[in-house]
């Protein structure tokens, strides 16, 4: 870990944002495939806005078969992106789900055509608050309409129409991606053959909304946020976004994992310095997480996407009865949770499973034992892979793939 | 997690039961005879899904399962069976009344914490209930206790008392008593011999209770 991190987020430290490019380049010029939708194809959002024009940045792997029956849609999480199996254009890191997706992996790119799109409202090439508003020729900022999980799914459906994919073999995603999977199954049941919502819930809990609100307030309390107009001001609310990320990152881990990884160990010494430097390794780690996040993510996009998760309540959309969201569905489901996930605990997954059962939907459920917390769905979890492989292979047989 | 989580899975114990060649377990074939084609079936404690797969392949049922162990659930997933990792003692309350044509509980009720409550749920969830269980009244069990003075270990009950998942043993007669207590109508009853074959003739309960290694019951709730 970098010792420079110790000072980076301190109020008196040099502003790390100032010398850098003032706008996130991937928002405007992404290294990605792009589907563009003109004024004739607006995205009709839950907020009552017809968003047009707009674009969806996406990546693919594998080949679509002649029947167009082997398509897999990956739905990414809050701060994820479309680069599921591709080197990240900003960080240079490998694709974020190469543990699960690739040749010979449970989501086998030798057999399936895999698509992942950046969600609407994000900042990696799909239209969002960092995109240029054609009405004003400047960044949308807070003029961008609030979007919901359902809006994300509608935009993905438009992308699939654009790609000529009528029905998905599999829709899979974790966390906010899992919310999209559930929304897909509820909104377009006939277009989803199999669905895997992982480490997610059918609604965002009050505690989760509370964590998100702390993150948003950290961003908005940063003077560099400038009421959301920082792109024109040439600044970036790096401190606010960094603190938001630090807080959120804690919720993605677990106490045992934090203790195992860091304990109370000191950073670069064995004694306290009697200062507010990052004495503890855990502090240094969190500061690093905050700092590296602001390199790749737009603060306003973070506001919008956290809000979209907060608004998600699938039961509320179906008369208060979650089972109604899955009534009559033919989709086969596999729900996965992790024992140490306290952001979307197993109880949340059981609510989903019970609702699917009540609706007579074919559902499998696995609780994976791990101490890695919510982020386990992104990590090397052999028990998750075994469950995914069994479910996906059996679904492929049922679909004749 | 409750009964069984730290022990060999119940189906591992039952795996010692005879098969016809490499085919299905003989006691599974007895259950197969009781399940109508195309039924909606819930198998509680479904293990590796062998019975559900048999019912699906031979009877065309729409099957669901509940299994405590992740290994069992994974085996079911690989068979394409929709099985939920869960606990019969806690999860049955969430199933609606009459949700299934048949609810099967094979070699599992003796491993639950609350067999009476579990059986009440089965009778509520299923229009018919099929239960199989090891008969603690079998002569070999009695002999182990009476002559050796030890807790019995047999093919069906292969684990020592301190590590078995089976915490609520009963005899065939005990089970009939519970059925009466709960107002469950016994539509069919059979005892299986130690090789898992149904004892052919209708015999008095005391004979089955002495010579039956397993009891197999098809139940329905009175008034349904």
Tens digits of residue pLDDT in B27-85 = 899 999 999 999 999 999 999 999 999 999 999 999 999 999 999 999 999 999 999 99
**Closest-CA residue in chain B for A395?**
B80
Band (pLDDT 50/70/90 cuts) for residue B156 is: confident
**Closest-CA residue in chain B for A361?**
B82
- Tell me the C-alpha distance between A389 and A261, whole Å: 29
Q: Which of A197, A337, A364, A368 to mutate to test the interface with B (most CBs of B within 10 A)?
A: A364
Option in A353, A363, A390 nearest B74 (CB): A390
pLDDT score for B201:
66
Average pLDDT estimate for B162-178: 95
Most confident option among A49-63, A260-274, B85-99: A49-63
Interchain CB distance below 8 Å, B74 and A365: no
Average pLDDT estimate for A367-372: 96
A374 is catalytic: yes
Given the residues A151, A279, A341, A348, select the one marked as catalytic.
Answer: A341
Domains of chain B: 10-221 (3.40.50.150)
The pairing of beta strand B184-192 with beta strand B214-221: antiparallel
Average pLDDT estimate for B144-163: 91
- Cα angle: A97, vertex A208, A77; to 5 degrees: 20
Tens digits of residue pLDDT in B12-27 = 444 445 454 567 888 8
Q: Quick one: which of A307, A27, A43, A304 has its CA closest to A151?
A: A43
Option in B77, B84, B85 nearest A391 (CB): B77
Given the residues A32, A175, A284, A340, select the one marked as catalytic.
Answer: A175
Q: Which of B40, B49, B66, B85 to mutate to test the interface with A (most CBs of A within 10 A)?
A: B85
Tens digits of residue pLDDT in A3-12 = 333 333 333 3
A151 is catalytic: no
pLDDT score for B221:
87
Band (pLDDT 50/70/90 cuts) for residue B196 is: confident
Fold category of A5-399 in CATH: Rossmann fold (3.40.50)
Average pLDDT estimate for B151-163: 89
Decide if B66 contacts B95 (C-beta within 8 A).
no
Average pLDDT score over chain B: 87
Average pLDDT estimate for B94-101: 90
CA dihedral A102, B71, B53, B4 (to 10 degrees): -160
Interchain CB contact of A321 with B (< 8 Å): no
Chain A positions touching B81 (Cβ under 8 A) are: 364, 394
Residues in a beta bridge with A113:
A71
Q: Is the peptide bond before A53 cis (omega within 30 degrees of 0)?
A: yes
Average pLDDT score over chain A: 93
Band (pLDDT 50/70/90 cuts) for residue B96 is: confident
A341 is catalytic: yes
Interchain CB contact of A5 with B (< 8 Å): no
pLDDT score for A268:
83
Interchain CB contact of A364 with B (< 8 Å): yes
Question: CB pairs below 8 Å between A and B: how many?
Answer: 67
Chain B positions touching A362 (Cβ under 8 A) are: 64, 82
Band (pLDDT 50/70/90 cuts) for residue A362 is: very high
**Closest-CA residue in chain A for B92?**
A354
Interchain CB distance below 8 Å, A394 and B82: no
The pairing of beta strand A50-51 with beta strand A43-44: antiparallel
Whether pLDDT at A259 is above 80: yes
Q: Which position has the higher pLDDT, A314 or B155?
A: A314
């Amino acid at each position: 870990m970098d010792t420079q991190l110790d000072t980076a987020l301190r109020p008196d430290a040099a502003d790390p944002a100032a010398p850098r490019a003032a706008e996130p380049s991937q928002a405007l010029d992404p290294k990605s495939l792009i589907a563009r939708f003109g004024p004739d194809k607006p995205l009709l959002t839950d907020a009552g806005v017809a968003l047009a024009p707009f674009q969806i940045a996406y990546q693919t792997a594998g080949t679509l078969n002649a029947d167009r029956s082997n398509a897999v849609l990956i739905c990414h999480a809050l701060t994820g992106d479309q680069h599921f199996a591709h080197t990240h254009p900003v960080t240079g890191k490998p694709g974020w789900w190469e543990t699960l997706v690739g040749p010979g992996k449970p989501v086998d790119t030798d057999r399936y055509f895999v698509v992942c799109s950046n969600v609407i409202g994000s900042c990696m090439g799909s239209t969002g608050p960092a995109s240029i508003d054609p009405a004003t020729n400047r960044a949308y900022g807070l003029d961008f309409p609030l979007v919901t999980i359902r809006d994300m799914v509608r935009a993905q459906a438009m992308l699939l129409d654009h790609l000529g994919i009528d029905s998905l073999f599999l829709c899979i995603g974790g966390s906010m991606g899992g919310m999209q999977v559930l929304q897909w199954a509820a909104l377009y049941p006939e277009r989803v053959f199999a669905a895997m919502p992982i480490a997610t819930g059918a609604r965002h809990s009050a505690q989760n909304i509370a964590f998100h609100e702390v993150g948003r307030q950290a961003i908005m309390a940063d003077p560099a946020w400038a009421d959301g107009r920082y792109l024109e001001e040439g600044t970036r609310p790096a401190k606010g976004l960094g603190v938001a990320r630090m807080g959120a990152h804690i919720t993605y881990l677990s106490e045992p994992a934090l203790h195992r990884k860091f304990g109370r160990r000191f950073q670069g010494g064995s004694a306290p310095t009697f200062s507010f430097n990052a004495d503890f390794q855990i502090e240094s780690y969190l500061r690093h997480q905050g700092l590296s996040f602001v390199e790749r993510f737009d603060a306003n996009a973070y506001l919008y996407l956290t809000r979209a998760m907060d608004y998600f309540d699938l039961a509320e959309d179906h008369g208060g009865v979650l089972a109604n969201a899955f009534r009559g569905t033919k989709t086969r489901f596999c729900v996965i949770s992790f024992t140490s996930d306290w952001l979307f605990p197993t109880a949340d997954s059981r609510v989903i499973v019970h609702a699917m059962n009540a609706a007579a939907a074919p559902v499998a459920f696995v609780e994976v034992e791990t101490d890695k917390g919510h982020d386990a769905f992104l990590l090397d979890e052999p028990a998750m892979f075994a469950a995914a492989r069994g479910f996906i292979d059996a679904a492929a047989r049922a679909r004749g793939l | 997690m409750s009964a069984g989580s730290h022990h060999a899975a119940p189906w591992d114990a039952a795996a010692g039961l005879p098969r016809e060649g490499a085919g299905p377990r003989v006691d599974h074939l007895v259950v197969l005879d009781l399940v109508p084609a195309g039924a909606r079936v819930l198998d509680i404690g479904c293990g590796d899904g062998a019975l559900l797969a048999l019912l699906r392949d031979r009877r065309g049922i729409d099957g669901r399962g509940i299994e405590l162990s992740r290994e069992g659930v994974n085996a079911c997933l690989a068979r394409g069976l929709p099985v939920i990792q869960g606990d019969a003692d806690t999860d049955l309350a969430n199933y609606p009344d009459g949700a299934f044509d048949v609810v099967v509980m094979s070699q599992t009720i003796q491993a639950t914490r609350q067999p009476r409550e579990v059986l009440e749920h089965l009778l509520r969830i299923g229009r018919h209930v099929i239960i199989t269980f090891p008969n603690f009244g079998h002569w070999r069990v009695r002999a182990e206790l009476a002559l050796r003075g030890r807790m019995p270990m047999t093919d069906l009950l292969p684990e020592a008392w301190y590590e078995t998942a089976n915490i609520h043993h009963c005899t065939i007669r005990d089970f009939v008593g519970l059925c009466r207590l709960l107002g469950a109508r016994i539509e069919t009853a059979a005892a299986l011999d130690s090789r898992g074959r149904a004892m052919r003739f209708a015999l008095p309960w005391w004979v089955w209770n002495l010579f039956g290694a397993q009891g197999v019951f098809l139940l329905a709730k009175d008034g349904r």
